[in-house]
Structure formats: C-alpha cells, structure tokens
Chain A
Amino acid sequence: MKRMRTLAGISILALVLAACSSGTTDTAAEETAAALDDSNCAAAESFCVGLVTDIGKVDDKSFNQSAWEGAQAAAAEVGGFAKYIETTDTKDYAANMKQFTDKGYDVIVTVGFLMAEASVAAAKENPNTKFIGVDQFQAEEVANLTGLIFPEDQAGYAAGYLAGLLTKTNKLGQVLGLEIAPVQKFAKGFEAGAKAANANVAVTTVYHPPADNGFGDPVWGAAEAKKQLSQGADIIFGAGGGTGNGALIEIAKAEGAGTSIFCIGVDTDQWGTVPEAQPCLVTSAMKGLVEGTSDLVKAAFDGSIKGGNFNGTTGLADYHDLASAVSADIQAKVAEIVAGLKDGSIMTGVTL
C-alpha cells in the first residue's frame, strides 16, 4: 500500500507537470515571442530601450512607474522596443544592466540615485550604449551617460507653502524614503516653503532607516504617519515610493481626512495612481519623470543626447475633489509661488 501511495503521488505530480508544460507551450511561446521580441536589438536599424530599477518595483505608483511609462511611451513613439528588470539584490546592478548590454540594447535607463555609481561604471564599460540615469547627478561628464535631475526643492517648496497656509494646528509632518539627495531636496524644500508661508509652523521629518526596502515599506510609512497624526500634525507629506504610499493611505483613513487632515503625494499626481489616498490627497509634489525620461530616450534615438546633466521640470498636481477645501485666496497665493519658482524670482534657499 505504501508503495502504491508513493507511486500514485509521483505520477500525479508528473501528470501535473506534463499538463502545465504541454498545455501552454504553443500559445504562450507565441505570445511571449510577440511581446518580448528583442532578438534584433543588436542590428543598427532596431531601437531597444532597457530599464533597470534600483530597489523599487515598476508598479510603485510613483517614481519607478513614471520612469517606465516615459521609456515605454518614447519607445512606442519611435517604433522601438522597451523592457525592464527589477533589481531584487543591490549587489546585482551591474549584472542586470549587463543583460541589456549583452543583447545590444541601444539605451539603458537606470532609475534611482542608488544606481549612480553602477551606472557610471557600466557607461564607461559600454561606450556605444547610451545610458540615462534618472535622479543621478553627474559630477563628472561621461559622454554616453546623461543624468536626469530635477529641482525637487521647488516642488517641495510649493507643496510646503500650501501646507503652511492650510494648517490649523501649525504642525506638519513628513514621512520619507531613504535619506538621499532627491528626497532630502523635497523635504528641505517643503520645510522652507512651509516656514515662508507661516513662520509659526513646526515640521516633523522622518526618513526611513537605511535598508534595502527604504522605498518599499508601506507598513513603516503607515506607522510613522499615525505617530505624526497623534502628535497633532494635520498635513503630512508622504515622499518615498511604496513607503510614502503607505503613509498616504493611512492618513486617508484618519478621522477628518479631507476636511481638517490632509496628505500630499509625490513624484506623480497620486490622485490617479493611489486612489485609496483620495480622501486626504490635496495635491502632489510632482517631478516630470514621464516627460523627462521620454524626452531623453527620444533624444538618444535621434542622436541629440549629450552627456552630463539634463534638467527636468517639477510642479504641483491638481487639487481634484479637494479644491473646495482650499480657499480661493490660498489657491491664488500658491499659484503665485509656483509661477515665481518657475521664473526664478523666488529661490527656495535649499542647499544639501
């Protein structure tokens, strides 16, 4: 009997394996071939774009997702092909980029400050491949590497200014991802803007402790947001991929969300990407990631791309349904600040 059981068990498993492999072979193989055809990337007439994330996922509803959308849109526009790899181990940056260079990809977009050093090394090793480093400031120019950088402090300043005018408790909070330059610029800009609007305001700022889940820790983000709410903060800026999203979603659940408690999103207009946050989401401090990435990929296609740094744009998202909670007076003042930041008449004064 025992033998029978063993044999039965093994044969069932074998059948399942056979079923799932043979059943899908033909259709799936064809589908994947259509969706993932990069066999011609090495040829001169083809245009292939590869994207590597640092530690986030491409569906993070903010930073990585925007860069990926930009890369996809540009590739589609010029008739090219785009594909991504999500890094799971920070030691694998080089290996992940190599997947693309081995296949003769024309452009590699590396997304995130954490990949800055690895991108420089890869660009030097592959002089015929164009590299676009999102959020990677280039101190020294490498001919085939373009850093896409943003004045995050300006978007942070505008958001902070709005928060400073809107707060009733004079207490603001920030729940942030890792303490790296782009995030610090957002945070310091937010604080400067809030203080400029309202000298009595106090801002509590917390960064995620260094770890490989700094931008993917919604549980931590939610806990920190809760803490800040209980300390009396009524407007909280959640900036840091999945970590920030966790904070936003937590605040949306708070009593008074949308009337006395507000949250501010980051990177993209998170009204659309994080619908759970809509009850409290008054605006988002946006980076023009989609346009910036897409512009640079297209520039790489037509050959006009240059090494060094490329400045993207920032701005504030629409108020959407919460426009009624922001008085016309405040809206006008914030619009003035945004315009002033744009034409250079207002400086954020943020230095790192």
Chain B
Amino acid sequence: MTITESKKDKDLGFFVRNQSIVVPIAAIFVAFVLGGILISLQGVNPLVAYRAIFSEAWFDSDGLLRTFQKTTPLVLAGLAVTVALRIGLFNIGAQGQLISAALASALAGIYITNLPAILHVIVSLICGVVVGALWAAIAGLLKAYRGVHEVISTIMLNSIAVGILDYLVSNPFREPDQSLQRTKKIAESAILPNFGVIPFGFILAILVCLLVSWMLNRTTAGFRFNTVGKNKFAASYAGINMKLMIVTGMLLSGGLAGLGGAIETLGITYRFEPAFNSGLGFDGITIALLARSNPLATIPAAILVGTLRAGGASLQFNTGIEPEIVDVLLAITLLLVSAPILAKFLFKGKAQKTANVTSGWGS
C-alpha cells in the first residue's frame, strides 16, 4: 500500500524478529502496571513506591552493594536452569544443589586450615561446585539410565537435601554452645571480599556467565547441547551419546547452582544456616524463563529480581506497602513470559513458540 505503511511494517518486523527480547520487556511492563494498580488500591502512588525500590537499590551505596549481592546467586542459579534447558532438561533442583554447595563450602571454609587466603577461597569454592554438581548428577544418572523424569527427581532431591542438611547442622557440624542450628563462622582466609560496592562474587558470576555463553554458542560441546535440545532423536542418530549428554548437562547445571551457593556462603553469610539461601534456586527458574534460556540475558533478569528484593525494605519503610508485592510482580511477569498469551496477543500468527522449556516435558 502506501510507503509509510510498508515502512511501519518493517518497524514491526524488527519486533517480530526480536520477540525473545520484546516479550519479556512487555511482560515486565504489564506486571509493573498491574502491580501499580494493586499498590494504588492501598492508597499509595505507585510511582512513589517504585521510586522507593529503585532509589534504595541503585542510588544508595549500601543498597547497591546489597543489590549486587542478591543478584550474584540469582545469575548463577538462572544460568544453571538455562544450561539444563538447552538440552531439554528442566532442572527444578537448583535450590537443593545450591544449599548442599553452601554447606560444603562453609565446611571447607571452617575445617580446612593453614591455607593461604587466595588458595583457601578457591578450594572452598571448588568444594561447593563439586558438591552441587554431584547432587545434580544423581538426577542426571537416574534420567540417563532409569528414565526417571528430571522434574520429579530434582524436586524430590530438593527435599532430601533439606533433610540431610538439617541433620548435619543440627548434629555433627553445629556450632558449639549455640541454640540455633548453624555452623561456625568460616575462617578469615576463606572470605570473598567486596571491592567497594562490587562484591568479588558478582564479578565471578559475570565471568562464568560469559564463559557459559561462549561454550554454548562457539564450541563443539555447545553445539551438541543445542542439537540435543532441539531434537534428541536427530542428535542420537547423528551419533551424540545421549546418556553422556544428560549426565554432563546436569553436572554442569548443578555446578553452576553450587557456585551460587558457595559464593553466598563465602561472600555474604560466612556460615551455613538453613534459613539462609531460601528460594534462590527457585528464583533461578524465574530468571531462566525471563531470559528465555539465553545465558547472557540472565544477567539483566537477575539484576531486576535482585533490585526488587534489595529495595523491598525501603518500600515498606517509605510507603508501608508489604514487601511481598515484589513476589506478585515477579509472578505476573513469569506467567506472562511462560504462557504464550502475551506473544500471541502482540504478534498473532507470527508468535514464536515459547522457550524450549516444553521440550523437556513428557519425555
């Protein structure tokens, strides 16, 4: 038709081609609008409320440090879920892997002595990564050799991890003369430092994120991951060892979640207590879906979640709104991203299928 219209179609084509970016952003926008309505129903101006969150989380030095601290394990948990999604596995067990690793690194930080600081930190981190990876590998082995669906096994392994850790911190590794169930504090030499408002763990998380992105997009191993994720029958026919892929995929996924737990222990909590780390692994699922299983996109997604969580206190302090509104925002966002409603509404027939989450189901 007219020139202007065809130009507009081209503009829209840009959005259609970049749905994986457009849809999450639109979802966040809708969530904030709906959240804003909920906030205004309580008699508070939503703009004031959102400003309270963001000014605390980004424009206050303590708040900014806390935002980065909260973002760090979320990047890694998101990455853990993402990596598994890439080979069509839905790892719901990031939480269990993360907390097992948090305890493992705490124990390494406490009971390994006479190591120089840098070495002690590295050894403690590795302990966490290894334990997280091994915990996830159980689900991987069950899937590869017994056909147990990983959604079921990882959910159950979460509960098993909670039970075992409760026992371990209540009995053998409990801090002496302490009524709380928790371990001793880790040695000074095992503490991950902060550089001003940037925790060392955050830098590490970003580096790992870049590494994983490179691995998935630029290496043979990554090509195998993606092939398996796209079509496991074709991958199997092409000679890819499926059992090996499933187990390594879970090892890698669990290791990433484990690194998140280890950094949390060594950089923030300095000890293990079951009440710490709650929900981090599950936030990882939110982040992976928000990032549409693109490893680099987990960084902004995690920053968003970390920001909302860090600003929660200021929200209640300044407006009286309960911090749980943050969970409402995230839940709406997740619903809109994972259900294809929004994409169908915006792009109709040209809507892409949602992230390859669904390929893991029923197999």
Contacts and interface: CB of A to CB of B under 8 A. Distances in A.
Nearest to B274: A210
A129 B252 CA distance: 49
B283 to A, nearest CB: 11
Interface stretch (A66-74, A86-94, A277-285, A326-334): A86-94
Main secondary structure of the interface of A (DSSP, over half): helix
Interface string A95-131: 1101110000000000001100000000000000000
Q: How large is the interface on B (under 10, 10 to 19, 20 to 34, 35 or more residues)?
A: 35 or more
B322 to A, nearest CB: 7
Interface stretch (B127-135, B346-354, B355-363): B346-354
Contacts of A35: 320
Interface string B150-191: 000000000000110010011000000001110000000000
Given A21-B36, A31-B43, A32-B320, A179 B179 contact: yes
Given A28-B45, A32-B319, A85-B313, A17 B36 contact: yes
A64 B9 CA distance: 58
B40 A20 contact: yes
Given A3-B8, A91-B268, A36 B276 contact: no
A211 interface: yes
B166 A13 contact: no
Nearest to A213: B278
Contacts of A84: 316
Interface in A30-84: 31-32, 35-36, 55, 83-84
Contact of B316 (A17, A86, A113, A214): A86
Contacts of A27: 43
Given A13-B33, A16-B37, A2 B12 contact: yes
A32 B345 contact: no
A345 interface: no
B232 to A, nearest CB: 34
A170 interface: no
A243 interface: no
B37 A2 contact: no
B181 A210 contact: yes
Interface in A208-262: 209-214
Interface in B291-338: 309, 312-314, 316-320, 322-324
A10 to B, nearest CB: 8
B9 A3 contact: yes
A240 to B, nearest CB: 14
Contacts of A86: 316, 322-323
Contacts of A323: none
A344 interface: no
Nearest to A182: B179
Contact of B273 (A13, A181, A210, A213): A210
Contact of A90 (B29, B275, B346, B347): B275
Contacts of B43: 24, 27-28, 31-32
B44 interface: yes
Contacts of B317: 83, 85, 99-100
A203 B63 CA distance: 48
B172 to A, nearest CB: 15
B47 interface: yes
A350 B162 CA distance: 31
Contacts of A55: 275
Interface string B22-33: 000000011001
Contacts of A31: 43
B348 A2 contact: yes
Contact of B347 (A2, A21, A85, A180): A2
Nearest to B348: A2
A180 B47 contact: no
Max chain A Cβ within 10 angstroms of own Cβ: one of B33, B166, B269: B33
B348 A21 contact: no
Nearest to A116: B180
Nearest to A27: B43
Q: Which 3 A-B pairs have the closest CB atoms?
A: A212-B275, A210-B274, A210-B181
Interface of A: 1-3, 5-6, 9, 13, 16-17, 20-21, 23-25, 27-29, 31-32, 35-36, 55, 83-92, 95-96, 98-100, 113-114, 179-181, 184, 209-214, 352
27 contacts: A3-B9, A5-B348, A6-B12, A20-B37, A21-B36, A21-B46, A24-B45, A25-B45, A28-B44, A32-B44, A83-B320, A84-B316, A85-B316, A87-B313, A88-B312, A89-B278, A90-B273, A90-B278, A100-B317, A114-B180, A179-B181, A180-B180, A210-B170, A210-B180, A210-B274, A212-B275, A214-B275
